[in-house]
Amino acid sequence: MDHASVKERDYLAEDPFALPLDKIDVGRPILFQHDAIWPYFERLRREAPVHYCDGGIYGPYWSITKYKHIMQIEANHEVFSSDVKYGGITMRDQMLDFVLPMFIAMDPPAHDLQRAAVEPIMDRQSLAELEILIRARARRVLDELPVNEPFDWVGRVSIELTTQLLATLFDFPWQDRAKLTRWSDVSTAIPGAGIIESDEQRKVELLECLQYFLTLWNERVNAPRRRDLISMMAHAEATRHQGPMEYLGNILLLIVGGNDTTRNSITGGLYALNKFPDEYGKLLANRGLVPNMVPEMIRWQTPLAHMRRTATRDFEFEGQKIHAGDRVVLWYVSGNVDDEMIADGRRLIIERDRPRRHLSFGFGLHRCLGERLADLQLRIVWEEILSRFGRIEVLAEPKRIFSTFVKGYSELIVRIPETADYRTNRLA
């Protein structure tokens, strides 16, 4: 599908408040790319919070748009399954000739066992060790930024920092770390939208990824267990016998989980502070606000717009009859601005009460495994930014990604004014 096709553009020209409810299709990547999705969700939350769309790029689906309903569905994994055999966790079913099992797309008990295999990466000792590395690397990346000239924050900061972190989590060869970014982008990209041209190309590149990671597996499976994700999988009972496609699936889960999400929170946070300059002012006056601001940025950005479940049997929910086999899409991006739970949700409010009350990390047994690490990385990045620079200026609207899943940016042009650079201030 061409991301700029006439049909897509037509959809952009519609009046969201005039469309009949049954014509609303929030699963249109172009609405996300143009940041035009909000009025549609507003209508669905108000008029049809459990909404059926019988069109849809990937087929018919239900949209769940209110915070409390998303939590209820996530809590009921027996009826609303994540299992890849029903289609998995995104609107698009997995390709039948290239099924990648992974624990985010499994139900208990397999899910719980495999998750437990890698969970130690987030324990206290791991995080303490990672904190030192993350801070040192953040300093290096920030110290090298140009002053008083425009540059792309996505490439220079967000991608660089998250890729470095991923390389550390996998103990991945440092010089090849850009491959991780590529594989992450390839696995979530829509063919024809700028990253890959076809599903065939995706397969070829992901099989290269598998080959690369198999070499690392073979090195580690016979060596003593270490504190990296590959070694943990190679030594845990639940994962050591996994087949190659399952190994690739779990690797991609960890790559995408740790990459796009944090990357887009780092970019989205800076963009949001520029959109709400009073909030930026409060932050510059009081760096102690960082720990409260970080979860608020993650809510505001909602880096993964949705997760999908599939009904395992007929089920009545909020007066609607959901049938066995139906796709049910949980729109975190809408739940996160549902005013029944979050007041004035489209605004970034860095002193918000209970800022962790949001859906960006999901809920229930699949709740994000990397939450504490994401929080840690963002906190360190902001502490280091604030100890160097004043207000970093966003010079133009960002370029957004053409996707209904990854809600993020491909470019954000910014400038660090000379007076805002601690290095120049010190010289002055």
From 43, 366, 388, 400, residue interacting with ligand HEM (rule: CB under 6 A): 366
From 101, 355, 362, 398, residue interacting with ligand HEM (rule: CB under 6 A): 362
Tokens standing for residue 226: 């270490």
Q: Rounded to the nearest whole angstrom, what is the least distance from the CB of residue 25 to ligand HEM in the complex?
A: 22
Q: Rounded to the nearest whole angstrom, what is the least distance from the CB of residue 263 to ligand HEM in the complex?
A: 9
User: Residue 221 in contact with residue 234, Cβ under 8 Å?
Assistant: yes
Can residue 84 be called a binding residue for ligand HEM (CB under 6 A)? no
Q: What residues from 94 to 133 belong to the interface with ligand HEM (CB under 6 A)?
A: 103-104, 115
The contact mask relative to ligand HEM for 26-55 (x = CB under 6 A, - = no) is ------------------------------
Can residue 331 be called a binding residue for ligand HEM (CB under 6 A)? no
Tokens standing for residue 363: 């809920």
Residue found by looking up tokens 């041209």 in the block:
197
Q: Rounded to the nearest whole angstrom, what is the least distance from the CB of residue 180 to ligand HEM in the complex?
A: 11
The contact mask relative to ligand HEM for 297-326 (x = CB under 6 A, - = no) is -x----xx--x-------------------
**What is the b/e burial string over 330-344, where b = at least 16 CB atoms within 10 angstroms of the residue's CB?**
bbbbbbbbbeebbee
Can residue 360 be called a binding residue for ligand HEM (CB under 6 A)? yes
Can residue 370 be called a binding residue for ligand HEM (CB under 6 A)? yes
**What is the b/e burial string over 235-271, where b = at least 16 CB atoms within 10 angstroms of the residue's CB?**
bbebbeebeebbbbbbbbbbbbbbbbbbbbbbbbbbb
Pick the closer one to ligand HEM by CB: 303 or 398: 303
Q: Rounded to the nearest whole angstrom, what is the least distance from the CB of residue 265 to ligand HEM in the complex?
A: 4
The Cα 198–Cα 422 span in angstroms is 46
Can residue 364 be called a binding residue for ligand HEM (CB under 6 A)? yes
Q: What residues from 238 to 277 belong to the interface with ligand HEM (CB under 6 A)?
A: 253-254, 257-258, 261-262, 265
Secondary structure letter of residue 155 according to DSSP: I
Q: Rounded to the nearest whole angstrom, what is the least distance from the CB of residue 331 to ligand HEM in the complex?
A: 11
User: Residue 336 in contact with residue 260, Cβ under 8 Å?
Assistant: no
The Cα 104–Cα 89 span in angstroms is 8
Number of residues forming the site for ligand HEM (CB under 6 A)? 27
Complete DSSP assignment for 10-33 = HHHHS-TTTS-GGG-----HHHHH
Pick the closer one to ligand HEM by CB: 312 or 424: 312
The Cα 401–Cα 398 span in angstroms is 10
Tokens standing for residue 208: 């290269």
Site residues (vs ligand HEM, CB under 6 A): 74, 103-104, 115, 253-254, 257-258, 261-262, 265, 298, 303-304, 307, 360-364, 366-370, 373-374
